[in-house]
Amino acid sequence: MTNIRERLADLLGLDGVSELALDASRSPLPMAKPTDEAELCAVLELAARDGLRVLPVGAGSRLTWCRPPTECDLALSTRRLAGVVAYEPGDGTLTALAGTPMDVLARTAADGGHHVTPDVPRPAGTTLGGVLAGGASGFDRLRHGPARWHLLGTRVAEADGRVTTSGGRLVKNVTGYDLHRLYCGSQGSLCVILEASLRLFPLPERRVVVRRSFPDAESGLAAAWAVARLAVEPLAVVLTDRPDAGGAPWSLEIVLGGRKARVAWERGEIEAALGEVAIEEDGVARAALLRDLEPDPTHAPALHLTSRPSRVAGVLSRAHGLLGSSGVTTTSVIHPGVATVDLPLPASFDGLAGLVRELRSIDGARVAVRGTDLPEGLEPLDPPRAGLALMRRLRGVCDPDGRFATGRVL
Amino acid sequence: MDAALLAALGAIVGDDGLIGDAVRRKPYECDGLTFHKRAPDLVLLPENTEQTVHCMRLLCEAGVPVVPRGAGTGLAGGATPLEGGVVVGTARMRRVLEVDVVDRFARVEAGLVNLDLSRACATHGLFYAPDPSSQMACTIGGNVANNSGGPHCFKYGATTRHILGLKIVTPEGEVLDLSEPEVDPTGYDLVGLFVGSEGMFGLATEITTRLVPLPEVTETLLAVFPSLEACCDSVTEIIAARLEPSAIEILDRMTIQAVEASVYAAGYPEQAEAVLLLESEGSAAEVGENVADMRAILVRHGVLEERRARDEHERARLWAGRKGAFGAMGRIAPDLYVADVVVPRTKLRELVLASTRIAHARGLTISNVFHAGDGNLHPNISYDRRDADEVERVLDAGREIMKLCVAAGGSLSGEHGIGLEKREEMELVFDPPSLERMLRVRSAWDRDGRMNPGKLIPVRVCMELRTPPPAPISKARG
Amino acid sequence: MDPATIVETASTLDCIHCGLCLRTCPTYRLTGIESAGPRGRIHLMRAVAEGELDAGADFAEEMNACLLCRHCESVCPSGIRMGAMMEFTRGGLEAGGGRPWWSRLARWAGFRVLLPSRRLLGLVAALLRLAQKTGAVRLAPLLLGRRGAAAPSLPAVPPASERVPLPARTAAVGEPRGRVSVLHGCVMPVLFGRVNRSTVRVLAAAGLEVRSPTRAGCCGSLHAHNGDLAAARALARKTIAAHEGITDLSGAMAPIVVNSAGCGSHMKEYGELLSDDAEWHERARSFAARVVDFSEHLAACPDEFLDAALAGRSAALAGPVVWDDPCHLCHGQGVRAQPRSLLDRIAGIERVELAESESCCGSAGIYSLLRPEASAAILDERLSALAASGARTLVTANPGCQLQWQTGVRRAGLDVEVLHLAEALDRALADGTPSAP
């Protein structure tokens, strides 16, 4: 171990090496922190030479989204590969290095009147590369869809230290295979993302949040359906009983954004459909608060249930039932239109494996459990529905020696 | 072709699904790009996934190349069996299998014509957004293979943003059923990777697509300009002002004249140097505001005249003219080379003019009709393929235009794909390691390289990489 | 064989291979085979023209499988003229020979003997009616084998009282406002005498004096479609001559009103058919300029003409009513709005649109006799559309289409009455009662 650290320090200097604690059961990993592409590739070449297994990481905010690595000799952080490479306000595209925090991207784009999707929770603690590799989508998914839709191209380092590209910086482009779509959500198991280009959207001129309280989740979901049938296109619709959201006991929050005329009209439509509503005029702050309600699994485990919009009510009621009978009281953050339900769990909870097993028997639901030090044998994700053999072959051709993020995905 | 294999294939697809005679095979020698031709050894038209599976198994055992084909409207030679083998067409797989009005998706067979999907769900107030100009002929399967675009992809995004699931028949004849829509895929995004793979990974037989609600209000404007330059500049400014029309298209004078002489005559003024077709969708308030802002920009750039479609009929007519434009160029010369370059939207004027200069310098006739809002240019060069010298000049001009656009930060193709046509130019955009990576990813899907061989990857790169085969699965650790 | 005698090379160059025609082509929809679609057919023609392909039996089969519905022309941005190209090609192929003796004999008997002769047609109709009434027609397949298979599905011949020819002259109702000449036709008087009479009644009610020159019979459209151009030209000359003397009230040449879309479309192209005939070319052109479809002429009449005939009268038509665009009316003549507007003038009519109403019903001249299976399969798709429309009455304007729909409606067990536009309008004259304001 010291040996690896020393070799890394030789390459990167003392500043370029630190450590990463993955979980309580393992000693921390040495972590290489290159400052540029050349250094990063040098680390990969070293790893290739010495047969070391590498865990690519950004800010580490999504390390719990799939299995921890089974074998790993060092972590490779892209955090210091930070900075906006090109922001083209006239073209609505942005290219940045993988380690750039998402809040920096958002601010840069906002200066030119653009909005960056995905609008992820706690953006200061995330990086572009980590968010993409983690397959994270944003709070704004209802309007803009998953992040992978707007990834225009990547520059990546392969296992042998070679740098390759796919896609480009153009809003429309079908030149070559969309390898960046493969990398998006690959959890660092295929390559290290060095740089990525995103399509931007107009920054909403105005944002307001329309809220209404409901006595129970069912009536809240029914109201969300009523809104979904309108010709409005909110940035997000959230139903939650989180006390920090302040609704009593359930609060349906509709985040509107866009040009002033549109927001005014949409607000009127929703008022007409829902009756008495409260309006939060400072939509930016309220939206950020709602966005950050997504549980942070680095401290305590959380469940992330997905289904189809039409099935959310059924999945939610079954999940609540199962949680209740497990003696867990929890809160929920539901995006009904996207069909996700997030449920934070108590930090120490013995029945987790059993509960997840039962939740996975709910028809039409996919259950992810996010957290560090999960019980032995508890799979954080449902298995892929099909294509496992193909996925293995893809990993085989992208990373023939199985160097990256070993055991994380397959 | 081996008689026993023929008989076995015939037993699967029936007499109607097997085309073996020279006359009926002949039209399969090319798609919408007529530069390159080679008739397939056989054409199979299976009726469903099961038949496709059985055919693919036999073809795999026999080691025969397979070229998937939808309607053959592609413009890059993607469905041309240049290395021979068997064309497997989806023309007899065109059912709508499921329309889920609540969760807004549809499951359809690959050979369904694009327009028929929108028609099938119109009564529910929904539609399938990607609308290639050939939408009344092209198939959803072909759209998936090429990640096709269309005017309204400016707002809604290209095909890849609309595909939720696929049922794929692998080169070995296995079914990879990824048709169930998922919020986020577990493992790798195989569906996202497959879209745009130009038939080189497998053959999609069923496709799950998103459906989107029909807009409440649609406003369509035709703006007439005294010059193509002013028309381009107004688009650049609309984009820079972050206005959100749903489509922005430019047609130049020659295109206008060809369209006006056709059954798609849309009432475009024939003396105009260029027209801009603009559309805005949404709520009445939003559309009103958007259109007012866009019009101010048009006026600043010297628009001569603005016409507003008064009803759905007029709107349809304006769009029919745009969508028939490619075919209408048949009035100018027997053949048409359609370039498909994409450029940063800040450089529209510069690159449109430069493309024109390149064509004129070679004594060629060029016209322009393109998805200006996406920076997706279509410099169209009219020619006669019987004139060998002219063909050479067209190819040379095409290469020059691609080089120029790539150098300006653009790319080879915005929606038609690489196919045969732009295969060698891939080296302008990607370095050898990147192309090698693509080839390796392809080998994970198709070990023997039998699916649509000879497309997309430059010959030189293939030659260099023939030797080291991809790592066997057992060596890969996962 | 010289390719130039088979393919008109220049016209194949118009096709730029965009494929927009594919979905409209009934045979492509049926088979999914490229060579069964317009683009593929032109591709093959061009291959023959450029010497890449022999114009052998396989090629001839692909050419003959086309319905000649010309739907592709309506969507072709490049303006290909499939009808003309196909007639030229079929003409070249026929001239080049290659048919077996029995096929040549059947064609000779049908095209050269039967269709041009009103007397023979009448005789055959009488015999056929007898065979249908006695059930003898069902023996045909036994006696003739495969080639007699179509006999039982031949249309029912109406009684002799319905097969009488039109009077040479019919006076206008009230003060005459104009004069027209009406095409008698070949099959029309035999199978659809009532349609011809309705046509004349409606025109007369609109104040038009109607002439119907008895010398004129078959216009030759079936001959041209099937490659017998020599016979087509001979019949064209005969038809032209028969209508030449008829003048309007003002002394100008009277319009020639045609109630069969296929005939009208063909007659409008006589100029091209006889373009190489020095003596007849000019006559053919001026004749063609006079040809109008029944609906086209009626809809173009001043409102008061129609008001005199139709105003405020309802007709005994079961609703909803759909209009089926005959291919040779919408694609061949570009007539789409006129029949609809005429139907809409019938008081109280509930008209709905038939999905894909411009798609061929599979009748296509004698296609339904030559290729009954393909024809029936094409009709099936149309019948589904008809069933989905919920219509109880289908109105069209071509004898072949009318027969095809009648057969199909019966086969599918639909409760839909199939009428010619003239019959539908005639009901508003005859049975109609003024509706309450």
Domain ranges of chain A: 2-77, 84-202, 206-289, 302-370
Residues B197 and B282 in one domain: no
Which residues from chain A sit within 8 angstroms of residue B437, using beta carbons?
158, 164, 166, 179, 398
Same domain for B323 and B341: no
Is A2-77 a domain of CATH 3.30.43.10? Answer: yes
Which of A155, A177, A267, A406 is best to mutate for the B interface (most B CBs within 10 A)? Answer: A177
Count of domains observed in chain B:
5
- CB distance B168 to B175 below 8 Å: yes
Residue B251: C-alpha distances to residues B248, B290, C18, C113, C403 (Å) = 10, 22, 18, 55, 46
Q: Do C79 and B27 touch (CB under 8 A)?
A: no
Q: CA of C43: which chain B residue's CA is closest?
A: B27
- Between strands C393-396 and C417-420, the pairing is parallel
Q: Using DSSP, state whether C151 is helix, strand or coil.
A: helix
Q: What fold, for A84-202?
A: 3.30.465
Interface size A-B, in CB pairs within 8 Å, comes to: 267
Q: Quick one: CA torsion of B224, B229, B235, B238, rounded to 10 degrees? A: -100
Structure tokens at B268: 């475009």
Give the pLDDT confidence of C5-25 residue by residue, as tens digits.
899 888 899 999 999 999 999
Rounded CA gap, C361 and C375, in Å? 8
- The answer to whether A116 and A106 are in contact (CB under 8 A) is yes
B440 close contact with A: CB closer than 8 A: yes
- CA-based nearest residue to A83, from A48, A35, A42, A118: A35
Range of the domain at B447: 428-471
| Residue among B86, B226, B73, B63 at smallest CA distance from B138 | B73
Q: How far is CA C298 from CA A29, A405, C293, C302, in A?
A: 90, 79, 9, 9
| CATH number assigned to the domain comprising residue B179 | 3.30.465.10
Please indicate if any CB of chain A lies within 8 Å of the CB of B406.
no
Residue C426 token pair: 């005639």
Q: Helices C229-243 and C82-95 meet at what angle, rounded to 10?
A: 120
Same domain, B167 and B239: no
In a domain, B417, yes or no: no
B410 interaction partners in chain A (CB closer than 8 Å): 170
Give C-chain residues touching B329 at CB under 8 angstroms. 16, 78
Segment A52-58 shows an average pLDDT of: 97
Write down the domain spans for chain C.
Answer: 3-95, 104-157, 163-300, 303-430
Point out the residue among B184, B413, B429 whose CB comes nearest to the CB of A185.
B184
Q: What is d(CA A215, CA B254) in angstroms, rounded to the nearest whole number?
A: 65
Q: Check if the beta carbon of residue A277 is closer than 8 Å to that of residue A212.
A: yes
For every residue of chain B, which 3-state class applies, written as one string? CCHHHHHHHHHHHCHHHEECCHHHHHHHHCCCCCCCCCCCCEEECCCCHHHHHHHHHHHHHHCCCEEEECCCCCCCCCCCCCCCCEEEECCCCCCEEEEECCCCEEEEECCCEHHHHHHHHHHHCEECCCCCCCCCCCEHHHHHHHCCCCCCHHHHCCHHHHEEEEEEECCCCCEEEECCCCCCCCCCCHHHHHCCCCCCCCEEEEEEEECEECCCEEEEEEEEECCHHHHHHHHHHHHHCCCCCCEEEEEEHHHHHHHHCCCCCCCCCCCCCEEEEEEEEECHHHHHHHHHHHHHHHHHCCCCEEEECCCHHHHHHHHHHHHCHHHHHHHCCCEEEECCCECCHHHHHHHHHHHHHHHHHCCCEEEEEEEHHHCECCEEEEECCCCHHHHHHHHHHHHHHHHHHHHCCCECCCCCCCCCCCCCCHHHHCCHHHHHHHHHHHHHHCCCCCECCCCCCCHHHHHHHCCCCCCCHHHCCC
Determine the average pLDDT of the residues in A114-142: 97
CA distance A77 to C97: 80
Distance CA C16, CA B330 (A): 5
Q: Distance from B297 to chain C by nearest Cα, in Å? A: 32
Distance CA B25, CA C321 (A): 43
Query: By the CB < 8 Å criterion, does B285 face chain A?
Result: yes
pLDDT at C148: 64
Q: Which two tokens stand for residue A225?
A: 């359906």
Of chain A, the percentage scoring pLDDT greater than 90 comes to 91
Q: C7, C33, C373: best mutation site toward chain B, by most B Cβ within 10 Å? A: C33
- Tokens 């940063």 appear where? B344
What sign for the dihedral angle of Cα C345, C350, C356, C360? negative
Q: Does B78 touch chain C (CB under 8 A)?
A: no
Pairwise CA distance, residues C260 & C293, whole Å: 8
Taking the C-alpha atoms of residue B97 and residue B238, their distance in angstroms, rounded to an integer, is 40
Verify B-A touch: 3 or more CB pairs within 8 A: yes
Answer yes or no: do B182 and A407 touch at CB < 8 A: no
B331 touches chain C (CB under 8 A): yes
Element (H, E) at A154: strand A151-157
Comparing C-alpha atoms, which of B350, B364, B357 is closest to residue B395? Answer: B364
**Of C70, A401, A177, A275, which is closest to residue B443 (Cα–Cα)?**
A177
One-letter amino acid identity for A361?
S
Same domain assignment for residues B43 and B60: yes
**Cβ contacts of C76 on chain B, cutoff 8 Å:** 262-263, 327
| DSSP β-ladder status, C178-182 and C256-258 | parallel
Question: Taking CB atoms and an 8 Å limit, are A385 and B415 in contact across chains?
Answer: no
Q: Could you give the CA distance from residue B315 to residue B309 in angstroms, rounded to a whole number?
A: 5
Q: Is residue B390 part of a domain?
A: yes
* Residue pair C418/C383 in contact by the 8 Å Cβ criterion: no
Please state, in angstroms and rounded to a whole number, the distance separating the CA atoms of residues A105 and A126. Answer: 11
CB C181 within 8 A of CB C254: yes
Of B183, B213, B243, the position where a domain reaches its end is B213
Question: Residue A197: what residue type?
Answer: S
Of the candidates A237, A287, A294, A265, the residue with the CA atom closest to the CA atom of residue A65: A294
Q: How far apart are CA C345 and CA C325, in angstroms?
A: 18
Q: Is C37 helix (H, G, I), strand (E, B) or coil?
A: coil
Per-residue pLDDT of chain B (478 residues; tens, 9 = 90+): 899 999 999 999 999 999 999 999 999 999 999 988 999 999 999 999 999 999 999 999 999 999 999 999 999 999 999 989 999 999 999 999 999 999 999 999 999 999 999 999 999 999 999 999 999 999 999 999 999 999 999 999 999 999 999 999 999 999 999 999 999 999 999 999 999 999 999 999 999 999 999 999 999 999 999 999 999 999 999 999 999 999 999 999 999 999 999 999 999 999 899 999 999 999 888 899 999 999 999 999 999 999 999 999 999 999 999 999 999 999 999 999 999 999 999 999 999 999 999 999 999 999 999 999 999 999 999 999 999 999 999 999 999 999 999 999 999 999 999 999 999 999 999 999 999 999 999 999 999 999 999 999 998 888 777 644 433 333 333 3
Amino acid identity for residue B264 in this structure: Y
Restricting to B residues 136-165, those with a Cβ less than 8 Å away from any Cβ of C are: 136-138
Q: Per residue in A364-386, pLDDT tens?
A: 999 999 998 899 889 999 999 99
Phi, psi (5° rounding) for residue B299?
A: -60, -40
B contact residues 407-426, partner A, Cβ 8 Å cutoff: 409-418, 422, 426
What is the token pair recorded at A231? Answer: 């010709």
Res. A358 pLDDT band, cuts 50 70 90? very high
Query: Are C138 and C152 spatial neighbours (Cβ–Cβ below 8 Å)?
Result: yes
Distance between CA atoms of residues C382 and A167, nearest Å: 46
| Paired tokens of A267 | 């607000």
Residue with token string 């370095």: B431
Q: What are phi and psi of C326, to 5 degrees?
A: -65, 140
Task: Give the chain A residue nearest B244 (alpha carbons).
Answer: A202
Which listed CATH number (3.40.190.10, 3.60.21.10, 3.30.70.2190, 3.40.50.300) goes with A206-289? 3.30.70.2190
B323 and B339 assigned to the same domain: no
- Domain A206-289 identical in fold to domain A302-370: yes
Identify whether B422 is part of a domain: no
Structure tokens at B96: 């709508």
Q: How many residues belong to chain C? A: 437
Cβ pair B102:A310 closer than 8 A? yes
**pLDDT tens by residue, chain C, 437 residues:** 688 889 988 889 999 999 999 999 999 999 999 999 999 999 999 999 999 999 999 999 999 999 999 999 999 999 999 999 999 999 999 888 778 888 888 888 888 888 888 788 888 888 888 888 888 777 776 666 666 666 766 778 888 888 888 899 999 998 899 999 999 888 888 888 999 999 999 999 999 999 998 777 899 999 999 889 999 999 999 999 999 889 988 989 999 999 999 999 999 999 999 999 999 999 999 999 999 999 999 999 888 888 878 877 787 889 899 999 999 999 999 999 999 999 999 988 999 999 999 999 999 888 888 899 999 999 999 999 999 999 999 999 999 999 999 999 999 999 999 999 999 999 988 765 554 44
**CA dist., res. A137 & res. B183, Å (int):** 10
What CATH number is given for A302-370 in this structure?
A: 3.30.70.260
Q: A83: alpha, beta or left, given left = phi > 0 and alpha = psi -120 to 50?
A: left
Chains in contact with C via at least 3 Cβ–Cβ pairs below 8 Å: B
Question: To 5 degrees, how large is the angle CA C181–CA C187–CA C188?
Answer: 45
DSSP characters over C171-221: PPSSS--EEEEE---SHHHHH-HHHHHHHHHHHHHTTEEEE--TT----SH
CATH architecture of C303-430: 3-Layer(aba) Sandwich (3.40)
Q: At the topology level of CATH, where does C3-95 sit? A: Fumarate Reductase Iron-sulfur Protein; Chain B, domain 2 (1.10.1060)
- The interface residues of chain B toward chain A in range 305-344, judged by CB-CB distance below 8 A, are 342-344
- Please report the pLDDT score of residue C150 as a whole number: 65
C in contact with B (at least 3 C-beta pairs within 8 A): yes
Could you tell me which of C32, C34, C35 has the C-alpha nearest to residue C64? Answer: C35
